Structure 1
């Protein structure tokens, strides 16, 4: 055997977690959200690609969304069975950090290709997008072009939104309106209230159970959502309304647990997150922008999406104000 090849094999062996003493493959447990592990989501492809290199079993535990992941960690504390959490977005990471359950990810951030700078050593981005209202162009040929147009529209224009207490997109809308309207956010919610058909508990219910069944012509989602319909359904029927005030940015992250029973395997997964094998599953699986530049591997439909201006609060601002802003929303919409 050539010396160089021998050294390479030794390095590969040392980087791969060993089998358990009983000969069974170790299991890496990842808490994530239901749409990630759906048959059409990125989970199956990520699982297949990672298991091909890790000599392990990847076990996804499906929770309702990012808010549910945070709540599960808070309830379980040091006894959590998770090795990795996948799906805490930047609006939840400060609250997760304060639980003191997470470890530095140790991943080189140089490959990141995000609309903002990122240097967090605990939370590793894996995709990003912008919140937007998706509309059915066959029912609503001329959508609102701003929040003001939506708020001033006739009351028969109905939208479906999600609950900010239980849904990441719902929280995103709360922050979007707060960023645009500031101290007048409660008034904006009162003006929006007549247009709200229903407040769904989560994105899947809002989008698939209600919007796709024609319950309303507009739904809160992401500016990237039309990419799936273009690429998979081969239709331009569903589009994102571009608002002149700008759109709120979301970045989703992965993090590893300090108390993981398989720290080497958890680290291997974190390193895998920014690989092309993981990232190529994001555009049409999670229907979001990948966290790295995929070049020609990015589906061409992403070039046909709106590209609005975007903004965000810092994670620290959200953590400090989330509960009071939710109370403001509840008070404004309870009349």
Structure 2
């Protein structure tokens, strides 16, 4: 029985054995991008992409050749994991999109054929304090949160002062607070716009975060307040600035919980279109590693077991 279990373990581990083929990165841009090509025993090549513009996200794809012999990168999945206070959110999404890989010397570029679009939620899990959500329930909750964060990112793009993308470094395309004479990064500025109640209504007015045509005198202090998670929200601000689609999400406190638990994913979704429309097609990736002999730990363990 022991020998049978041993052989089963060996077969399972061999089936997942991967080796590093090549690794590329953009050394000239202020934002980083890393592309890794892994190969399995059959020669099937899998690509993994990460970038500072897409925090908490790993893109995955497979390589193939088209009729003309060009190398095509077929994006097939997006993995994300992000943490908050006593919480985490994790999910796998099925993607469909393609890019054409061009190599010359030690460099690589990717010409987008079609931007990857989310086709389906493959899996999802969440933890909120001491409660865990997995399997079907976890996938459903992850989908709902992902959709809310996506809609929030689209809302922010329509607001004055928000740039084409949210940089990873303060000082580049940042948001400037004229009253305090200091720059704010994307997430700090987002928090002030979405949740001005955290900073007080006087601060809200001085920072001019309300839409330019919004009259502060319209705020009704009698029935304008609603309590959610021990925070007072102004319904009139929600109506004027947030809009109908996300109205209940903000007034219920869900928007703030999403922000606190998954702010990196919100930033990644804000940058998603810019990454594929502008940044990735312009990036020149340089090879940093070529090593067909390197293997993951599971392969090393197998070698040790054979001795």
Question: What's the TM-score once normalised by structure 2's chain length?
Answer: 0.26
Higher relative contact order (CA 8 A, sep 6+): 1
In terms of fraction of residues, the more helix-rich structure is 1
Q: Which has the larger radius of gyration?
A: 2
Higher strand proportion = 2
